[in-house]
Structure 1
């Protein structure tokens, strides 16, 4: 990637991330119930297990050895991601939040998690090019 396309990608990803957080906060503010804000904490915590336990992953993709520490980090990350999508659904099903707030919260989660995934894949592939 050249410099201009990298800057455009960063700006586009930051707009998507801001829109995701805006939807999550609006799902709370518009309907007067701040329970969906708990999902924002899962956004912040979801990448941390991979960042902490990512050093235990083998650099050889053909290695048959699997690190239990790295697998535990992946498990924690997947648990947080599923909780980020499932919590608004459970809150709406139990009547604590409205369905519209659930849709806004899940949509914000899709934008935030999608931004994290695109950023990590985009710039991980750029690091290997050097």
Structure 2
């Protein structure tokens, strides 16, 4: 039982699992592009960069940098990044449906693009939240002095 819990809590195993899921998402998007159309690859790239506005606004509004936003109103910047990210994810889901309705994509390509894109975005989001843990969230290893 101890080896099972160490297998699940090992960070390297989590990273390897997320990498496998990310590669499956890109594989589905590329398979959707086999039908003679390159739009699914662009939609896959939209999903891949969809979390980037949130990461940029978190980095800009953190206390590590000396950017002076007047009055310290960082909520506007953070919410703008969240809005842009939500816009990109929504566009990534709706664009294959619109292209299918316009007879540019087949139904199979539409489904593969949406599933693959959701896998890509979910993996990027999980990677960023995994590496964005603050030092307070990390458990004590028990080796410190009281």
TM-score normalised by the chain length of structure 2: 0.73
- Counterpart CA distance in 2 for 1:110 and 1:52 is 21
Residue 33 of structure 2 corresponds to which residue in structure 1? Answer: 28
Q: Which has the higher helix share?
A: 1
The alpha-carbon deviation at position 106 of structure 1 amounts to 0.6
| Aligned: 1:129 with 2:134 | no
Q: Matched residue of 1:95: which SS? A: coil
RMSD of aligned Cα (Å):
2.5
Residue 115 of structure 1 corresponds to which residue in structure 2? Answer: 123
Q: Which of these residues, 34, 43, 49, is aligned with residue 47 of structure 2?
A: 43
Q: Which of these residues, 42, 66, 69, is aligned with residue 77 of structure 2?
A: 69
The alpha-carbon deviation at position 125 of structure 1 amounts to 4.0
The alpha-carbon deviation at position 2 of structure 1 amounts to 6.8
TM-score normalised by the chain length of structure 1: 0.81
Deviates more, 1:8-17 or 1:106-115: 106-115
Residue 61 of structure 1 corresponds to which residue in structure 2? Answer: none
- Counterpart CA distance in 2 for 1:96 and 1:43 is 20
Residue 103 of structure 1 corresponds to which residue in structure 2? Answer: 111
In structure 1, stretches of 5+ residues that fail to align are 59-64
Deviations 1:69-126 (A, max 9, x none): 1111111011011111111111111111100000000110121112123223334347
- Bigger-Rg structure (1/2): 2
- Counterpart CA distance in 1 for 2:55 and 2:6 is 26
Q: Contact 1:57/1:67 (CA < 8 Å) preserved in 2?
A: no
In structure 2, stretches of 5+ residues that fail to align are 64-72, 140-146
Q: Matched residue of 1:67: which SS? A: helix
State the aligned residue count: 123
